[in-house]
Amino acid sequence: MVTAPKTHEHQRPSPRKPRASERPYMGAIPYRDAQGKILGSTFRVWAPFAKKVAVIGDFNQWSKTANLLVPEGNGNWSTDVADAMPNQAYKYVVIGQASDEALYRNDPRARYLEAGNSVIIDRQFDWGDENFQMPAWNELVIYEMHIGTFTDVPGSDPGSLTSALKKFPYLQELGINAIEVMPPAEFNGQYSWGYNPAFPFAIENAFGDPDAFRAFVKEAHRHGIAVIMDVVYNHFGPDALSMWQFDGWSENGKGGAYFYNDWRCWTPWGDTRPDYGRDEVRQFIRDNAMMWLEEYRVDGLRLDATAFIRNVYGNDNDSGNDLAEGYGLMQWINEEVDDRHPWKITIAEDLGCNPWLVKSTEEGGAGFSSQWDIGFLGRIRQSLIVPNDYGRDMHAIAEAIQFRFTGNALSRVIYTESHDEVANLKERLPEEIWPGNAGSWFSRKRSTLGAALVLTSPGIPMIFQGQEFLEDRWFDDQDPLDWSKLEQFGGIHDLYRDLIRLRRNWQDNTRGLLGQEVQVHHLNNEDKLIAFHRWEEGGAGDDVIVVMNFADHRYNHYTLGFPRPGLWRVRFNSDWDGYSPDFGNHPGFDTEATTMPWGDTDGMLWAGNLGIGPYSVLILSQ
């Protein structure tokens, strides 16, 4: 039985949150005169175990003595440097208490790095008259993407923010209205998934600079697309970490002030778990979250592997391994977002299917808006990849459709592909259906059954880049999407587009797909056919019936229950040969729902007959 984490009573072990006016600006901050002209920069860094700190850079010919920082008595050191201007490089020179050795360190809060140095960045940007409004969460359709591979320009260098934003007209036409960007924070090397952030405040140099990311967000908003940022707070690095033993201090040979220095430092990715019990580290992470939301105007955050923030070993049932301060940190961040930006979304990737992640902090929950539902993925993929029809379990499909973490269906994100599920030799769904023949009729038919389930079930739907044109190669950070498949499988793209538009109720006749309500009213596990009713308030244009045939068998007449009498029109038929010439175009005809002489059907007072092709989906409404 799933229960609340043992840490849920620990709301926040740190002292009172300081008011915004009390929080010192950290990092390298340009300062201006009354007319807005930049005069220099303030440098402030946290180095609690240092006995001396200096800043060196282009502005002082890299002198170790020209600009010493002054201790503020709270572990912070600061100084103002006239003529330290944006785009100039800098570093800190730190002298620890135990040694006179000079430690050359990049700024943990650097906004950009170039040629191995931190770079001063002007944080102002011309956003123009942008007044983007985050779509209502029940209208969200998320497209997960990786900046380095979301490009059609093959070559030795990864794709960039500039090349990725050129695809926004394509995404807008597809119909998605949110992108989830895999972490673009500075990592070691040129290629990475992004889940090894060395500098969480900096934009990855290989992708572009901070202005390029701002332009990326601005252009997304201009196309009606929200931007959700993937952030990694369960560990840092582990490579190229300037934070590691930043001021020379550590215990047990571990990471020093920014990290746990005992057994709690362990993660599957290295001994680099941040010390969630230190107020300054908590503030570091909180400020990072707010930077993306406020300075870069992103519309939401997806926190990676939150199980390793709240528990040393992930989803471990031993409460002795819980991290109360990690759980409290997530609560604090979510409370801050709710207070300052209640329309922005926070998503947990916990993978423990624990409802406490999406309960309010007042209830003792972590306060996330939603979380990835790996249970949906597991049930659906298994039912689609099994080679024989008799192995498909309609009860598992029904559970996947109807499951929810809380009373709010939007507390889960549902998907059949993500970066985790299609990488490291784990295949794309069409490839799993028929290894070596992902373009086959069977792969196209059954994988699009999965797409229809994602886009018609209650929850926030998400697809992974290239899924809509049957990309069959697993995700690799050095392998760009094969855009030639968009031409080869243009009909599959159109199928996704039509499903997305129905999901978003573009024609004002499928409002029920935006609603909370669902009932699986027909389940035929012998013939592998299932039907469910979606609605918000009910009535014409609202009630939606989704019929799915999970067998290689067609029906000319199949009787189903309907919630209302009268004519029900087919709004979508996945067997249409416009989606692929070898689809059967089996008529999923409009049907008249009437009373039946034998009484109710599927617990409904009215019934109708329809035709449906093999491995096909029908969506009907009035």
Q: What is the pLDDT of residues 302-356, one digit of tens each?
A: 999 999 999 999 988 778 899 999 999 999 999 999 999 999 999 999 988 899 9
Pairwise pLDDT comparison (397 vs 157), residue with the higher score: 397
pLDDT digit string, tens, across residues 544-589 = 999 999 999 999 999 999 999 999 999 999 999 999 999 999 998 9
Sequence-ordered list of residues with C-beta below 8 angstroms from that of 526, at least 6 positions apart, any chain = none
Eight-state DSSP code of residue 435: T
pLDDT digit string, tens, across residues 428-438 = 999 999 999 99
The answer to whether position 220 is within a domain reads yes
Determine the pLDDT at residue 14.
Answer: 39
444: exposed, middle or buried (C-beta count within 10 Å: 0-12, 13-18, 19+)? buried
Please name the residue that has the structure tokens 């944006």.
86
- β 226-231/300-303 pair status: parallel
Is the model's pLDDT at 8 over the cut of 90? no
Rg, Å, the chain Cα set? 27
531 and 590 share one domain: yes
305: left (phi over 0), alpha (psi -120 to 50) or beta: left
How far is it, in rounded angstroms, from Cα 543 to Cα 535? 5
425 and 557 share one domain: no
Q: Stretch 136-154: mean pLDDT, rounded?
A: 92
CB 158 within 8 A of CB 149: yes
558 and 465 share one domain: no
379 and 478 share one domain: yes
Distances from the Cα of 591 to the Cα of 376, 512, 548, 605, 606, angstroms: 31, 19, 16, 15, 11
338 and 190 share one domain: yes
Q: Stretch 121-143: mean pLDDT, rounded?
A: 95
476 and 569 share one domain: no
Predicted confidence band of residue 290 (pLDDT cuts 50, 70, 90) = very high
Determine the pLDDT at residue 598.
Answer: 77
Number of folded domains that form the chain: 2
CB count in 10 Å sphere of residue 576:
21
Please name the residue that has the structure tokens 């402030």.
44
The answer to whether position 353 is within a domain reads yes
The angle subtended at Cα 385 by Cα 585 and Cα 461, nearest 5°, is: 75
Q: Picking from 1-10, 157-166, 388-397, 523-532, which range would have the lowest pLDDT averaged per residue?
A: 1-10
pLDDT digit string, tens, across residues 346-369 = 999 998 889 999 999 999 999 999
CB 456 within 8 A of CB 535: no
E strand spans, 283-322: 300-303
Where is the domain boundary, 503, 533, 552? 503
Determine the pLDDT at residue 181.
Answer: 98
The answer to whether position 60 is within a domain reads no
Q: How far is CA 593 from the centre of its chain?
A: 41
**In a 3-state reduction of DSSP, which class is residue 300?**
strand
326 and 180 share one domain: yes
What is the percent of the chain where pLDDT is above 70?
Answer: 96
Asked whether the bond before 238 is cis by omega within 30 degrees of 0, the reply is yes
Sequence-ordered list of residues with C-beta below 8 angstroms from that of 592, at least 6 positions apart, any chain = 566, 567, 568, 608
E strand spans, 146-184: 178-181
CB 373 within 8 A of CB 403: yes
**Residue 588 lies in domain:** 511-621
The answer to whether position 316 is within a domain reads yes
The answer to whether position 121 is within a domain reads no
Structure tokens at 557: 């007449």
Nearest by Cα to 448 from 500, 389, 510: 500
Predicted confidence band of residue 155 (pLDDT cuts 50, 70, 90) = low
How far is it, in rounded angstroms, from Cα 383 to Cα 377? 10
Eight-state DSSP code of residue 335: H
How far is it, in rounded angstroms, from Cα 246 to Cα 351? 33
367 and 478 share one domain: yes
CATH number of residue 567's parent domain: 2.60.40.1180
Determine the pLDDT at residue 10.
Answer: 33
The answer to whether position 24 is within a domain reads no
Nearest by Cα to 401 from 286, 596, 547: 547
Give the bridge partners for 524, in sequence order. 529
465 and 396 share one domain: yes
Where is the domain boundary, 503, 538, 554? 503
Where is the domain boundary, 503, 528, 557? 503
CATH number of residue 221's parent domain: 3.20.20.80
CB 136 within 8 A of CB 226: no
467 and 385 share one domain: yes
The answer to whether position 33 is within a domain reads no
Rounded to 5 degrees, φ, ψ at 171 are -65, -40
Determine the pLDDT at residue 23.
Answer: 61
pLDDT digit string, tens, across residues 209-264 = 999 999 999 999 999 999 999 999 999 999 999 999 999 999 999 999 999 999 99
Determine the pLDDT at residue 15.
Answer: 36
CB 415 within 8 A of CB 459: no
Is the model's pLDDT at 20 over the cut of 60? no
Is the model's pLDDT at 514 over the cut of 60? yes
Please name the residue that has the structure tokens 């009172």.
16
How far is it, in rounded angstroms, from Cα 8 to Cα 310? 10
Is the model's pLDDT at 154 over the cut of 80? no
Determine the pLDDT at residue 310.
Answer: 96
Q: Which amino acid is at 314?
A: G
How far is it, in rounded angstroms, from Cα 559 to Cα 590? 13
401 and 323 share one domain: yes
Is the model's pLDDT at 33 over the cut of 80? yes
Is the model's pLDDT at 599 over the cut of 50? yes
Q: Which amino acid is at 525?
A: N
How far is it, in rounded angstroms, from Cα 581 to Cα 572? 17
How far is it, in rounded angstroms, from Cα 545 to Cα 519? 10
The answer to whether position 278 is within a domain reads no
Q: Mean pLDDT of all residues in the chain?
A: 94
Determine the pLDDT at residue 317.
Answer: 76
445 and 589 share one domain: no
CB 520 within 8 A of CB 546: no
How far is it, in rounded angstroms, from Cα 140 to Cα 110? 33
Nearest by Cα to 123 from 209, 185, 46, 47: 209
Determine the pLDDT at residue 247.
Answer: 97
Distances from the Cα of 176 to the Cα of 226, 431, 505, 610, angstroms: 9, 24, 12, 30
